[in-house]
């Protein structure tokens, strides 16, 4: 299998985001990452969540959650704290002081994965939350 240089991959990802009818910018869908009024999270299947976490088909650009977060990568020390809490990406790109885990998953769908947020009542969102909650319990932040 032939591999492409990083510059080419970056250009392909950027192009696919621009050309995809499902692509979105955080400005367009940022409001959709906020829990709707009356929303009540429901339990999810962590095994399904693990499959979805590794599935690039959730995105429009070939990324999966694991692209950034395999083996606890790219989680800051705050990931060990109970939600809601401050997450730098949500603060910096959406102006949100604190987010719930399901809101952060939705923000990742919109921003790095360039996709539409998952339906709030979907088994997929609940499953991803269940899996990431498991990941959070096993996360050990690196001490400075």
Residue 53 domain-assigned (yes or no): yes
Residue 74 domain-assigned (yes or no): yes
Residue 105 domain-assigned (yes or no): yes
- Domain of residue 80, residue span: 25-32+41-138
Residue 87 domain-assigned (yes or no): yes
Q: pLDDT digits over 25-45, tens only?
A: 445 568 899 999 999 999 999
DSSP string across 37-84? TT-------HHHHHHHHT-GGGSSSS--HHHHHGGGTT--GGGGSPSS
Residue 107 domain-assigned (yes or no): yes
Say whether 137 sits in a helix, a strand or coil. Answer: helix
Residue 10 domain-assigned (yes or no): no
Instruction: Give the CATH number for residue 68.
Output: 1.10.760.10
Residue 80 domain-assigned (yes or no): yes
Position 58 pLDDT exceeds 50? yes
- pTM (2 decimals)? 0.79
Number of domains in the chain: 1
Residue 47 domain-assigned (yes or no): yes
Q: pLDDT digits over 132-144, tens only?
A: 999 999 999 887 6
Q: Can you tell me which residue has the tokens 């790219």?
A: 74
């Amino acid at each position: 299998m032939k591999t492409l240089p990083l510059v080419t991959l970056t250009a392909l990802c950027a192009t696919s985001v621009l050309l995809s009818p499902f692509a979105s910018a955080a400005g367009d869908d940022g409001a959709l990452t906020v829990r709707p009024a009356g929303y009540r999270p429901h339990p999810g299947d962590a095994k399904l969540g693990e499959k979805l976490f590794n599935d690039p088909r959730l995105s429009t650009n070939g990324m999966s959650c694991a692209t950034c977060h395999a083996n606890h990568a790219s989680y800051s020390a705050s990931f060990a704290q109970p939600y809601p809490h401050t997450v730098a990406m949500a603060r910096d790109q959406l102006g949100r002081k604190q987010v719930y885990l399901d809101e952060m998953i939705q923000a990742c769908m919109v921003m790095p994965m360039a996709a539409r947020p998952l339906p709030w009542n979907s088994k997929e969102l609940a499953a991803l939350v269940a899996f990431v909650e498991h990941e959070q319990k096993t996360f050990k932040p690196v001490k400075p």
